Chain A
Amino acid sequence: MSLPAREAERWARPAPQPTRRRAVTPARAPATRPPIPNPPHPQRRTRRGHHPAFWIFTSAVLSAMVVGLVSLNAMRIDAAYETRLVSERVRLLTDERRTLVNDVAHLSSPSRIGTWAREEGLVSPAAGDVVILQVRGTSGSMGSSRGKE
């Protein structure tokens, strides 16, 4: 930590002190020497320069800055928590969707339905029981074309 400039100045230029030589030398008449004016006290001058309004203003600015910074940080943290919560919810919903897709695929599986149908006594129709209707002119009768080229 360095000395304030005015303090250093005070140290560098101390107030005149009576010296040994002065003690030996007969004193001159005070009228012949111009009086040295005392330098104004630096602290007193500073104190005089800072108006209370300055302190109020400074305090207000500093307080606002501190409150602002704390609020900003709190908002960032809150946003981070929100983001994580949303991400977690997305993950849960994605998992749920996949589970539902799996359930649909499982429930609509032909093997499951076939097993259920067999248990209920249902059977596939025999070969002759299903007649596939033909549109006229698309197919002829079987065996009628033997030997034709």
Chain B
Amino acid sequence: MTRAPAGRLVALLGVMVLALVGVLTRLVVLQVGDHRALAAQGLRQRVHPTDLPAERGDIVDRTGVPLAITLEARDIYVDPRYVVDPIGEAAKIARVLDMRPRDVEQRLQTPDTTFVYLGRQVDVKVAERLESLGLPGIGFLEVPKRYYPAGSLAPQVLGFVGVDATGLAGLEYEYEKVLAGIPGTRTVELDGDGLPIASGMEILKPAIAGRTLVTTLDREVQYLAQEALRRAVKENHAKGGTIVVMDARNGDVYAMASYPWFDPNDFAHANRDAVRNRAVTDMFEPGSVNKVVTAAAALESGAVGVRDVFRVPWWMHVGGYTVNDSHPHPVEPMTLGDIVAHSSNIGSAMVAERVGSAELASVLARFGYGTPTGVGFPGEAGGVVPELLNWNDITRATVSYGQGISMTPLQMAAVYGTVANGGMWVQPRLVRGTTGPDGRLDEAPPATPRRVLSKGTAAMLTRMLASVVETGTGGAAQIPGYQVAGKTGTARKLVDGRYVHRYMASFVGFLPASDPRAVIVVSIDEPRTVYGGVAAAPVFSEIARHVIQRLAIPAAPPVPLPPFASGP
């Protein structure tokens, strides 16, 4: 039976329409129903995002000289499966990487693995030398490496970063978010062989580099402070030491040195003691340098006048204990100026008795004892001051000459900075601000200064401190042509809850006395010559002379000395 041509056409048309409907239905299912899943699958196959690490910001000193910088380096690895001649290759690799051939050989023969590190953060030139040898199985990864071009300069302040470029200590840790930046991504379309398609999609979300941290440190002053400290520790056969150099007017820390120190380029081999920033994290009993606070409390409260004379023996009983001065002397008439200049413990205890515990504790709190300065450094200690409720006569007496309380060298710098600054406490700071790619300095907002002492009290304290250097225990701190105001300190150390015959010798001062520019704290831990006037004051003088030259500090007219019992 044959159909009419028209009928066949209609049948063919029907079949084609049905087929077309089928195709369309499938298309709708794929394009509408499964659209998302299929699109995602396609993207996964073709498109590959790669993380772009952000460049870590530099750390520079106050003049812009880099103290920490990030450079390109290489991680070198081996896939042991492809190593043909382990002994021969090990010898060549060891020569280039300065390793022991036996160690390299062991790594080249590591079983059951496809990846073993041969070196991490290796210098690019060294890696290129190794790459030129064309050894089979050796691979290279581009990684960033942190360099500290000045070596062991302020290592405890700068800190260091780990192999993953994350800050682990110091400013590197404290300002991690600022320095690290924001990583970006590069999304590219790859062909079947995994190679980029030249005209394919490429979406670049660039990494935002970390900002440059501008510190208040001065590279030259820091170096000079470290050198002076190293010499002092060696000459005094001491255990260690700390130096802080600070701008009296705005709290900028020019130098912060702690001995022993380490090389941050090789921090893995550093002694744990050397890593601590003692100026901020270690507390010590200040000893006689604290007498300035006792004198401040006496003058502020009005309990003692500058011409009041005390009859001071060389020892006395307080609360069942015997306290004494460092040297025997007959009962002497002393004014407040004499007591500070000659660093009399008994005189200080007598002044504190007249001032009272509450007033003394109040002045200590106003100076910031027991509270971190907020300098912006990890692990900053705040010092220890006994609760006023627990104070008794002996507490008041010992606190008056700086025993029984503790503080950090930086806190002590802030105390003397307050006196130098006319009674205004200024927060010390290590960071001036940050700069971005445009190089514009984004200044860190300064903390509001607070008034601790009246101007008159600060001026009188300055005169007393000047007398310490000119007529008292701090003669070794003198600088020809400049009037220095400062105080010596010799504090017994507390070990396991008992005072031992080991001492912390210190000298804290500022200059020029009438127009202070720099506050310097020198603290020597367990020197053979125990006195601050002998072990620390000469170091102060040495650093101060360098600081005068470096910061171009002009001389200023001297302040008059305070009234003494012996008269003018």
Contact = CB atoms under 8 A, between A and B. Distances in A.
B564 A147 contact: yes
Interface residues of B, number: 52
Interface residues of A, number: 40
A114 B223 contact: yes
B199 interface: yes
Interface in B223-253: 223-224, 226-227
Contacts, number: 118
A93 interface: no
B220 A110 contact: yes
B71 A102 contact: yes
Given A105-B65, A105-B69, A127-B541, A77 B568 contact: no
B389 interface: no
Contact of A109 (B149, B481, B512): B149
A131 B559 CA distance: 22
A105 B149 contact: yes
Interface in A67-90: 73, 76-77, 80-81
A146 B467 contact: yes
Interface in A88-116: 95, 98-99, 101-103, 105-106, 108-112, 114
Nearest to A108: B65
Interface stretch (B175-183, B279-287, B550-558): B550-558
A109 B548 contact: no
Contact of A138 (B9, B152, B555, B561): B555
Contacts of A109: 149-151, 153, 219
Contact of A148 (B542, B548, B560): B560
A132 B478 CA distance: 13
Nearest to A115: B151
A131 B480 CA distance: 8
Given A106-B150, A110-B220, A143 B471 contact: yes
B191 interface: no
B333 interface: no
B109 interface: no
A80 B195 CA distance: 14
A140 B198 contact: no
Contacts of B567: 147
Contacts of B152: 111
Interface centre among A102, A139, A140 (most CB of B within 10 A): A139
B465 to A, nearest CB: 14
B401 interface: no
A128 B561 CA distance: 25
Contacts of A111: 150-153, 223, 226
B150 A105 contact: yes
A103 B226 CA distance: 22
Interface string B475-515: 00011111100000000000000000000000000001000
Contact of B559 (A133, A134, A145, A147): A145
A143 to B, nearest CB: 5
| Interface hub of B199, B545, B564, B568 (most chain A Cβ within 10 A) | B199
B554 A138 contact: yes
Nearest to B484: A142
A120 B519 CA distance: 33
Contacts of A76: 199
A57 interface: no
Contact of A147 (B6, B202, B542, B568): B568
A147 B307 CA distance: 11
Which residue, of A106, A128, A133, A149, has the highest number of chain B Cβ atoms within 10 A? A149
A132 B481 contact: yes
Contacts of B199: 73, 76-77, 80
B554 to A, nearest CB: 6
B445 interface: no
Nearest to B200: A80
A149 B459 CA distance: 11
A11 interface: yes
B563 interface: yes
B555 A95 contact: no
Given A12-B6, A73-B199, 7 more contacts: A80-B199, A109-B151, A111-B226, A128-B480, A132-B479, A132-B545, A149-B562
16 contacts: A80-B202, A95-B71, A98-B71, A109-B150, A109-B151, A109-B219, A110-B219, A110-B223, A111-B151, A127-B545, A139-B555, A139-B557, A140-B557, A145-B558, A147-B560, A147-B563
